[in-house]
Amino acid sequence: MKAPLLIVFAAALLPAANAQNAVLFEGARLITGDGSAAIENSAFLIQNDRITTVGKKGEVRAPAGAAKVDLSGKTVMPAIVDAHTHLGWAIIRTGEIGKDTYTKENLIDHLRRLAYYGVAATFNMGTDPGDIAFQIRAEPVPGAALLRTAGRGMGRPNAGPGADYWRPVAYGISTEADGRKAVQELAAKKVDIVKIWVDDRNGTVEKLTPPLYRAVIDEAHKHNLRVSAHIYYLADAKELLRSGIDGFMHGVRDRDVDDELIQLWKQHPNVFVTPNLPDKGNSEEDFAFMSETVPAGEVKKARDAQAARTPEAAKRARDFFDLQARNLSKLNAAGLKIAFGTDSGTTVGWDAHQEMADMVTAGMTPAQVIVAATKTSAEVMKLNQLGTIAPGKSADFIVLDANPLENIANTRKIAKVYIRGKELDRGAMRAEWTQR
């Protein structure tokens, strides 16, 4: 009686034949993410969750019976990697954020929203209390971005992150011993990087001092961990470079960068920056793109808040943007390591595309920005399986209806997103998030 059942069961457990797990994508313009010229009329094969072959249409052989997807007229780029976020706190559906809103459910929701917009991995930078982020890191959620985490970042007591509800998450460092102990705790939790805040918040709080952050950097390096610093001031950027910092979150924001900084940085070419250009205001296209995943009432609130800005406030925002854009342009011209990050906490997913457009406004080419947002950020996050479309890489990519090398705004014209070899049902995700 049981024999037929067992046979059926065994068949279901057998790995399917190669052909059934193979998909050949043909005809797209392929931006591989390594900065080389796009491959016109490309073909690439994926098997299970991996890319196995990349080349020209007609030259890539697929196993007999492989599925075929015609991408003629489309452009394919690697999925985006966002190396600076603060996810898990905002409730997108209601706009609520506060000291009690960080939950596992919320963090997973954000990772799914990133995937919807073509972001395959993200780096939470110092605002993860407890074990939730570590649990999600260990067990990736299907159809969601991968999570990496700095755990709890550090600053002076009650002076780390900007928002008051985040302040208690950070370690408050008063002595070098405090800094070393915090690093030891983070190392035991196997954080992916150590995050420090070096900022006095416009003179309102104490700033982490050079002796304190040097102790943190020294202890982190002993544990084979890198340290990334939130900065504001040019002078701090220089002193951190002299002290062995590994990366910057944000560029210099108090003044134009000078040759001394560039020369110092060139002596440490592995030091990266996620520019996180500031908000200079949303266009109607931005609001429309946001509306795909944010309820209409929340979009209206954002639109109203922007409309309520005084002309002076709007000008200040524009000047602040222009300063940081000039600085990014200089770092780029100097050939320094520019990665990609949104600093996103409340604007989840859609703002990655806004940030890419902002980086082009700052003077980078679309091709340079795509490399920053894919290959370089994947390197910074040590996610070697992401960042480019090449044999052996994870099958994480975006199919676009138009070419972003011609106009970076075309990264928003998303036809399909594949995360770890599976196409997302973006229509169902949109409906889930926008219908009440």
| Amino acid at position 275, single letter | P
Of residues 167 and 180, the one with the C-beta less far from Zn ion: 167
- DSSP string across 205-251: SPPPPHHHHHHHHHHHHHTT--EEEE---HHHHHHHHHTT--EEES-
Binding-residue pattern over the window 87 to 126 for Zn ion, x denoting contact by CB under 5 A: ----------------------------------------
Q: How far is the CB of 344 from Zn ion (least distance, A)?
A: 9
Shortest approach of Zn ion to residue 85 CB, angstroms? 8
Region of 209 on the Ramachandran plot (φ > 0 left; ψ -120 to 50 alpha; else beta):
beta
Smallest distance, Å, CB 249 to Zn ion?
5
Q: Residue with CB nearest Zn ion?
A: 343
Query: How many CB atoms lie under 10 A from the CB of residue 224?
Result: 7
CA distance 68 to 204: 59
Quote the tokens at residue 102. 């960080």
Closest contact distance (angstroms) between CB of 403 and Zn ion is: 31
**Residues 252-291, buried b or exposed e (16+ Cβ, 10 A)?**
bbeeebeeebeebbeeeeebbbbbbbbebebeeebbebbb
The answer to whether 199 contacts Zn ion (rule: CB under 5 A) is no
Q: Are strands 247-249 and 42-47 parallel, antiparallel or unpaired?
A: unpaired
**Closest distance of CB 163 from Zn ion, Å:** 10
Minimum gap (Å) between residue 258 Cβ and Zn ion: 24
Question: How far is 80 from 83, CA to CA, in rounded Å?
Answer: 10
Who contacts 185 (Cβ-Cβ below 8 Å, separation ≥6)?
Answer: none
Q: Which is nearer to Zn ion, 128 or 343 (CB)?
A: 343
- Residue closer to Zn ion by CB (options 158, 407) is 158
Please give the size of the binding site for Zn ion, defined by CB under 5 A: 1
Nearer to Zn ion among residue 272 and residue 397 (C-beta): 272
Q: Decide if residue 343 touches Zn ion (CB under 5 A).
A: yes
Residue whose CB is less far from Zn ion, 236 or 343: 343
Question: Binding pattern to Zn ion, positions 294-333, x when CB under 5 A?
Answer: ----------------------------------------
Work out how close the CB of 84 gets to Zn ion at its nearest, in angstroms, rounded to a whole number. 6
3-class DSSP state for residue 70? strand
Closest CA to 416 of 394, 403, 400: 400
Instruction: Please identify, among the stretches 63-71, 231-239, 289-297, 335-343, the one whose residues bind Zn ion according to the rule CB under 5 A.
Output: 335-343
Tokens for 129, please give them. 């209390």
The residues of the shown chain that bind Zn ion, judged by CB under 5 A, are 343
